[in-house]
Structure 1
Amino acid sequence: MEEWELIRRLLAGANGSGQSFMVGLIAGDYLRDLAPEDADDLKSEIFELADELAQKMEEIGLLRPAAVRRGGAAVIGAMERTELGDELYQALCGRNVVMLFESMHAQLDAGEIRRMLHQLR
């Protein structure tokens, strides 16, 4: 299991597009892609991890509740990426960047993320 791949997927899901940010759906998709034959064994672990990561990502300033757009209706649970979250998402979409974060044992910490992103520039 790659924690940073799950983080990338959570960031992708927080696009502020008028949809609810459904951590369970994101975790379920990740679980099916990861190991469909072991899905039942990993299910609770992946769902717990996804919830913890989403909370931590909001705490450190990668995600925030989505603002209501002019003329639009408020969507309960909608999230969007912050500037740092968007920068991290763009980096994680690059070739082998998820693997780099995993191999460096990067922590979900704003300062460490900024340092890693600076090194990638």
Structure 2
Amino acid sequence: MEMWEYVRRLLAGATGGNQSFMPGLIAGTYFRDLIAKNLDTKHPIHEFSDLADLFFEQLKNEGLIRPAEVRPGPAVILGAVERTQLGDQLLEALSRRGGVAFFESVQAEIDSATVLRLLHQLDS
């Protein structure tokens, strides 16, 4: 499991007020993808879910995602989150070829100052 691939998937799931954000579902999908690729899953599925919740809280605390604004309409979507501008920039960087590997190689933590520095470094 790569932490930054996990972060990329969580950011990609933060699509705004049109759907609920469920880290556990993202965890389950990532877990199944690793199994399908015959990659080592050292952690059981419940630990994947716990990590998803932890990473979600870190992304929220560092200002990379936030609760989505309520959209007008008949249904209110609970638990919806959206990316901030920094979250969008990070998702774009992680989605580039080699983006996840770059963040993994420098052993970066989920920290907004570190993310800004690494994004600047990538763009240089």
Alignment gaps of 5+ in structure 1: none
- Structure 1 residue ranges (4+ consecutive) displaced by more than 6 angstroms after TM superposition: 37-40
* TM-score of the superposed pair, with normalisation by structure 1: 0.92
Pair 1:105 & 2:107 matched: yes
Which residue of structure 2 lines up, in the alignment, with residue 90 of structure 1?
92
Aligned length: 121
1:42 CA displacement: 2.1
In the alignment, the residues of structure 2 paired with residue 108 and residue 41 of structure 1 have an alpha-carbon distance, to the nearest angstrom, of: 20
- Determine the C-alpha separation between the residues in 1 that align with 2:97 and 2:22: 26
* 2:47 aligns with one of 31, 45, 48: 45
Residue 45 of structure 1 deviates from its aligned partner by 1.7
Q: Return 5+ residue gaps in structure 2 as ranges.
A: none
The amino acid across from 1:27 in the alignment is: A
Contact 2:6 2:30 in 1 (8 A): yes
Shift of 1:44: 1.8
Deviation at 1:74, TM superposition (A): 2.6
Out of 52, 55, 58, the residue aligned to residue 56 of structure 1 is 58
Question: Aligned equivalents of 1:41 and 1:27: distance in 2?
Answer: 11
TM-score by length of 2: 0.90
Specify the alignment match of 1:25 in structure 2.
Answer: 25
Shift in alpha-carbon separation, 1:41–1:3, aligned structure 2, 3 A: closer
Larger displacement relative to structure 2 (41-50 or 24-33) = 41-50
State the one-letter code of the partner of 2:98.
Answer: N
Q: Identify the range of structure 1 (37-46 vs 5-14) with the bigger mean alpha-carbon deviation.
A: 37-46
2:118 maps to which residue?
116
Partner of residue 8, structure 2: 8
Distance 1:85 1:110 in 2: 9
In the alignment, is the contact (CA less than 8 A) between 1:11 and 1:81 conserved in 2? yes
**Cα-to-partner distance string for 1:8-67 (whole Å, 9 max, x where unaligned):** 000000011510001111000000011257769521221111100001110110110110
Task: Please report how far the alpha carbon of residue 69 of structure 1 lies from its aligned counterpart in structure 2 after TM superposition.
Answer: 2.6
- Give SS of 2:9's match: helix
Q: Percent identity?
A: 51
